[in-house]
């Protein structure tokens, strides 16, 4: 039980700071996971299009970056980040 109380005290002290409130905000957490997801999706799709489908790099890049730009906007809108 004391470990749980210590963790709660640490979180409370972090939330008391201005930066703590910023980083523990739900919008920031959603922004972070969406950013990580889009980065991994970019890498995977570029690998898939260039290496597996043999689509030229410039065309693959335009398609993937354009598509993930739209996906990022939709995810931000769904999660009320923007």
pLDDT digit string, tens, across residues 45-75: 999 999 999 999 999 999 999 999 999 999 9
CA distance 17 to 25: 12
Closest CA to 39 of 80, 69, 59: 69
Confidence of residue 1 (pLDDT cuts 50, 70, 90): low
> Could you tell me if 20 and 14 are in contact, meaning their C-beta atoms sit under 8 angstroms apart?
yes
| pTM metric for this prediction | 0.72
As a whole number of Å, the end-to-end CA separation of the chain is: 39
């Amino acid at each position: 039980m004391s470990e749980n109380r210590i963790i709660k005290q640490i979180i409370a002290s972090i939330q008391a700071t201005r930066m703590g409130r910023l980083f523990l905000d739900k919008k920031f957490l959603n922004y972070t996971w969406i950013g990580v997801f889009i980065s991994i999706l970019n890498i995977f799709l570029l690998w898939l299009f260039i290496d597996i489908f043999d689509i030229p790099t410039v065309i693959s890049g335009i398609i993937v970056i354009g598509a993930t730009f739209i996906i990022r906007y939709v995810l931000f809108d769904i999660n009320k980040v923007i």
